[in-house]
Copies of this chain bind each other. A is one copy, B any other.
Amino acid sequence: MKIMDGKLVSQAVKDDLRKKVQELEASGMKKPHLAAILVGNNGASETYVASKVKSCGEVGFTSTLIRMDAAVSQQDLLKEITTLNDNDDVDGILVQLPLPKHISEQVVIDTISADKDVDGFHPESVGRMVQGLPAFYPATPYGILLMIEHYGIETKGKHAVVIGRSNIVGRPISILLNRNDYPGNCTVTVCHSHTHNLKDICLQADIIVAALGRPEFLKADMVKEGAVVIDVGITRVEDPSKKSGFAIKGDVDFASVAEKCSYITPVPGGVGPMTIAALLMNTYKACLLRNKK
């Protein structure tokens, strides 16, 4: 059994990107520039955005952080996005979610120019991904692909079972693992809350992506010997033995499942750290696209 180490792979992606940015600069091209908008001061959002900005620095990207008050009007937020859309130096735009309730996330996402949509949430990005066109993939599924690629895991003809059909994880990873490319070419089954005989289906899987958000849901008796198990879950559960009073649990009962796997991602330290690497990759690609124009 091998651990798929998200910190290690994420660092490898970053190291590679730093070299690519140096090459861009050496050839007189502009560096990738990510603009992030943070509305209000939700603690988790602050942490995520700070981490994204820091990562940009590490790989040599330019970054701009725009802070807006929690009471900002939707109109003013959209105006800021439009300004960034029109700013030729900005390659990628992300608006940290969630947003205050008086603002429509859908309208905000739709307003980001599709060619700067490095979060991959715009319908046009999703459609281009589905159609197999060059596209920005959402961070978590893209991070999973990067991991599979890093470990050279064979996917062609494998049966992948995805548990969960969310717009940000289950649905897109099911589409990407099914595409005619590497990683991909899996037979893919998408399961969800209405699925009967989930255990039987999981037992057929060569690759399982658990993305349902129920801590330690996937047990050893649901996993075939030698399977690859990718755990997207990240739930806080009470744990009095910890200083913080809680522990972070994935959707996989790691202790029992790990023994049966060929590869498995831990939580934390698996898929999580890959999401920023995926965002940086998208921003780099957005910059290449703009340099080409």
A192 to B181, CA, bound (A): 13
When distances are taken between beta carbons in the complex, the residues of chain B under 8 Å from A33 are none
**Bound CA span A128–B156, Å:** 28
Instruction: Name the residue in A131, A172, A191, A195 with the highest tally of chain B Cβ atoms < 10 Å from its Cβ.
Output: A131
Q: Mark A87-100, 1 if CB is under 8 A from B, else 0.
A: 00000000000000
Most buried by B among A123, A133, A167, A194: A123
Tell me which residues across on chain B come within 8 A of A133, comparing CB atoms: 106, 123
A279, chain B: closest CB distance, angstroms: 19
**Are B171 and A190 in touch, CB under 8 angstroms?**
no
A78 touches B (CB below 8 Å): no
Q: Which of B125, B179, B192, B196 contacts A178 (CB 8 A)?
A: B192
In the complex, what residues of B have CB within 8 A of residue A185's CB? 192, 194
Asked if B187 and A156 sit within 8 Å, CB to CB, the answer is: no
A130 interface residue (CB < 8 Å to B):
yes
Q: Flag whether A8 is at the interface (Cβ < 8 A).
A: no
List chain B residues, Cβ under 8 A from A179.
Answer: 165
Instruction: Report how far A85 CA is from B82 CA in the complex, Å.
Output: 23
Is A225 on the interface with B (CB-CB < 8 A)? no
**Once the chains bind, are B126 and A167 in contact (CB under 8 Å)?**
no
Cα of A132 to Cα of B170 in the assembled complex, Å: 14
Check A187 against B194 for contact (C-beta < 8 Å). Answer: yes
- In whole angstroms, what is the CA distance A157 to B191 when docked? 9
Flag if A165 contacts B178 (CB, 8 Å): yes
Question: Does A188 sit at the interface, judged by CB under 8 A?
Answer: yes
A131 to B125 Cα, complex, angstroms: 11
A52 interfacial contact with B, CB 8 Å? no
CB of A201 closer than 8 Å to a CB of B? yes
**Given the complex of chains A and B, what is the CA–CA distance between A191 and B201 in angstroms?**
15
- On chain B, the residues within 8 Å of A131 by CB distance are 123, 126, 167
Q: At the interface, yes or no: A220 with Cβ under 8 Å from chain B?
A: no
A197 to chain B, nearest CB (A): 8
The distance from the CB of A287 to the nearest CB of chain B, in whole angstroms, is 21
Interface 1/0 per residue, A164-190 and B, CB below 8 Å: 010100011011001110000101111
Bound Cα distance from A165 to B195, whole angstroms:
22
Query: Is the Cβ of A187 less than 8 Å from the Cβ of B192?
Result: yes
A31 at interface, CB cutoff 8 A: no
Q: With a CB–CB cut-off of 8 A, which chain B residues contact A159?
A: 196
Rounded to whole Å, the gap between the CB of A108 and the closest CB of chain B is 14
